[in-house]
Structure 1
């Protein structure tokens, strides 16, 4: 097909786990039935398809802002999404299935669960959550596939209502849980989403999916992952019957279960992102904070007022909200005002700006207090020696204030290390986000414990030396007095 060879950016969330997109427990490679489907589409389209990690809840936003060319991540076709994106023909027909503990007597089916006011867990913003809301059921919503199974096992829930692919992928890891057969009547569709204006791409994807269905390659992929059932016949052309095409793909689910995934290399790489993000953000905070502090103390009235507004604003606005405004709100506002797309900032630098500006407000107050703590006699003594106000500030006042700001600024820097975890909400795969991806890719408590311990150790390995270096620097400054 076509001569276009530019890579297509495919957005999905590996945190969602099996069987869609997740990391192989041994190789660390990305696998899943949608990974196999992407490779098959890649061959048919003649264009590379490049995976990009993206928060599931922001996939449609990422598509609209131009970060992604297509979204394929178990995305259900719903009217509200269809108003925002162009869906291709479906590649999977899904149904919902109830999961209960073995021996559970109250939840023989969904109607019994609802009547008994049973606590039913499901994923947020899903067909299951909408169905439970319509039925008036007691629904508990999750943003992770693993946690609901854990809570059902521990008795915090009475049942789960999830898409069949999720149940088939995770249930084998929970021997005390059982699926209620048959699945809930009715069905829905997974389809690929593209921007509404990308009709040419949508048409190419439609043709490619139709080809894969007609040749049997789509069925081969679904069978390899244990997902083919009679309901998938709806995807095939009328009257189609023929031998199945054999396609190259990733390992089958039995050998690719990520529940023991613990890839130190992935965590180490994410830790480097955390370090870079922390250093860049703190650098911006120090420079901006010092400027704001000087403006509040020595600037004209209007500048002092502006500096005060800055401090109160950024201390009062949650960092998470600020990141959302910068990453999603700023481009949307620009497009609304000018009618053209623009003001896109990369996720990393958006996080640097958001964290830097927020922490600058706290640093400004620290610097202001330190500068005010220097006795006025220091200014008078410097003036008597013929130093200008600027020379006095740079060579006399600032060095003395530095000794006072070092301990609280160090504490802020350590706090900033931990707050970089918020950058994961705008698709920056830093250390905490990588831990979430690893821990939710499987269904084993050991993964959570082991990965959590390694992540905590990496945070300590990065933050403890900061305190040690700060204390050494503080002693050197004290000895130089």
Structure 2
């Protein structure tokens, strides 16, 4: 009896071991060297490209999809990163990340450097080293035009609702003044949209953002004067002296030869503080703000809906298709993990010995009772602290699979519970072993009962796969938010992405119904004989 129970226990653990072993192998293959041992510039030169972290969802004028050709990234920091990479003797390759987590991703080894409006601040230096500043901007306060009660000083912000970016100097300054700070992870235009419709009382942001979003809106007014000053620097890995020296040297050269001055002038961003910072020549008088003017022309007046359908949206289909493919692959693999592990958990909870039942219950309650985003963050950022570093793709699949395994375990437990106990007793009386009874009697009926909720879970997982954008993967939802921010078209592009999600989920729902009907017919056929 003891030997038989031990055999059942080992059999129930096999699916879990089958999942853990490949994960460990994948982890070993994707492990990176400790941060202190990095020489990012040497790595970049060895591979011939500089991986620079950014978040294109932030929008103009930093890094964003070209509204006229969404398949290309543009922005003054795209141009800056290209110039920096050229000085370092490599080609640039942008890598997407969440803006307020870019430095943590850098520390993890996902980038060589970060170029995306990284402010010079002491708390950021605890995570990464910062280069010499390459741009200086004033902070500007924007309010609704004609609002007599609008706050126009820092002191007047106390108790008022203010919109800004998370982790920014503006957010810290407004909090210190007693404002009710509302931060936005989406595009910068969302911040000004909320101000326009009255959800906030003011916006405090850097001058480049104000110029591209606040100053062009006829319903808004930029308050005169500066409300502080912020400098941008390149983030490099902590303790990487070689990369820091190389980046500083490249910025010095770009400042002295006038490259940066001409670049900023082309985007309409040249200002006196930056001129003092760089110490190089001013931009030639012949340089016009053509990039700024082109952006104003592209987004200043929305195209008629039919023109967007026939001209703009077709240009986005390749990006949406790429994001949809990534979402689908991650979801299918994660569901395979969830189904396999969920079945093992359900069998352990229903038929396993007491210790295994307790473990199964503990796992299910833990993963059902904690947020998926927390679990994903722990897998991606927490495991490296234990010496286990997973690639973004593997981390996303494992985190989603482990989370949904808890839900699948409950589906299969309900299915097993729906099988009358008398059927299992009858199978044992006919000479079938316990495992054979499970395989031929209980599991076919349990799977038929569990199939509809399992399909619902897969569709939910498909939508939850949007969270993998936190770990540098640009899936379908991240593609939408980046494009909507750049093109200032949330409604129309929202309909496009909704059609993509519908196209992904409907075939699986239809397949589920078809399988359920076939299983149902097999169960009914003997009863009618």
Same fold flag (TM > 0.5): yes
Give the aligned partner of residue 253 of structure 1: 292
Kept in 2: contact 1:217–1:246 (CA 8 A): no
1:71 aligns with 2:108: no
Residue 312 of structure 1: how far off its partner (Å): 1.4
Kept in 2: contact 1:217–1:245 (CA 8 A): no
Counterpart Cα distance in 1 of 2:336 and 2:294: 46
1:437 aligns with 2:477: no
1:292 aligns with 2:339: no
1:106 counterpart (149, 153, 169) = 149
Kept in 1: contact 2:257–2:281 (CA 8 A): no
Counterpart Cα distance in 2 of 1:386 and 1:148: 70
Give the aligned partner of residue 367 of structure 1: 412
Unaligned runs of 5+ in 2: 1-40, 303-311, 524-529
Give the aligned partner of residue 215 of structure 1: 257
Change (3 A) 1:140 1:383: closer
1:305 counterpart (350, 354, 358) = 358
1:47 counterpart (90, 98, 113) = 90
Residue 107 of structure 1: how far off its partner (Å): 4.0
- Structure 1 residues 355-364 or 164-173, which shifts more? 164-173
Q: Secondary structure at the match of 1:429?
A: coil
Q: What does 1:136-215 align with in structure 2 at a 5 Å threshold?
A: 136-144=178-186, 145-171=188-214, 173-184=216-227, 186-215=228-257
Q: Under a length normalisation based on structure 1, what TM-score does the superposition of the two structures give?
A: 0.91
Counterpart Cα distance in 2 of 1:472 and 1:289: 23
Counterpart Cα distance in 1 of 2:271 and 2:196: 27
Q: What does 1:103-142 align with in structure 2 at a 5 Å threshold?
A: 103-107=146-150, 109-111=152-154, 113-114=156-157, 117-142=159-184
Counterpart Cα distance in 1 of 2:256 and 2:285: 10
Residue 474 of structure 1: how far off its partner (Å): 1.1
Counterpart Cα distance in 2 of 1:241 and 1:92: 15
Q: Secondary structure at the match of 1:284?
A: helix
- Structure 1 residues 151-160 or 189-198, which shifts more? 151-160
Counterpart Cα distance in 1 of 2:229 and 2:453: 57
Q: What does 1:390-401 align with in structure 2 at a 5 Å threshold?
A: 390-401=435-446
Give the aligned partner of residue 426 of structure 2: 381
Kept in 1: contact 2:51–2:113 (CA 8 A): yes
- Structure 1 residues 448-457 or 215-224, which shifts more? 448-457
Counterpart Cα distance in 2 of 1:227 and 1:272: 38
1:8 counterpart (40, 50, 58) = 50
Counterpart Cα distance in 1 of 2:69 and 2:98: 23
Residue 441 of structure 1: how far off its partner (Å): 2.5
Q: Secondary structure at the match of 1:77?
A: coil
1:317 aligns with 2:370: yes
Query: In the TM superposition, what whole-angstrom CA distance separates every residue of 1:186-214 from its partner, at most 9, and x where no partner exists?
Result: 42210001012211111111111111111
2:134 counterpart (91, 99, 119) = 91
Give the aligned partner of residue 466 of structure 2: 421
Give the aligned partner of residue 279 of structure 1: 332
Query: In the TM superposition, what whole-angstrom CA distance separates every residue of 1:241-267 from its partner, at most 9, and x where no partner exists?
Result: 4775999xx971322467477512212
Change (3 A) 1:233 1:410: same
Counterpart Cα distance in 2 of 1:4 and 1:470: 50
Tell me the C-alpha RMSD between the 2 structures: 2.4
Residue 146 of structure 1: how far off its partner (Å): 1.4
Kept in 2: contact 1:31–1:251 (CA 8 A): no
Residue 403 of structure 1: how far off its partner (Å): 1.3
1:35 aligns with 2:78: yes
Change (3 A) 1:407 1:108: closer
Counterpart Cα distance in 1 of 2:137 and 2:470: 28
Q: What does 1:454-473 align with in structure 2 at a 5 Å threshold?
A: 454-473=496-515
Change (3 A) 1:139 1:300: closer
Counterpart Cα distance in 2 of 1:242 and 1:279: 55
Counterpart Cα distance in 2 of 1:252 and 1:450: 25
Counterpart Cα distance in 1 of 2:50 and 2:365: 43
Kept in 2: contact 1:220–1:245 (CA 8 A): no
Residue 8 of structure 1: how far off its partner (Å): 2.1
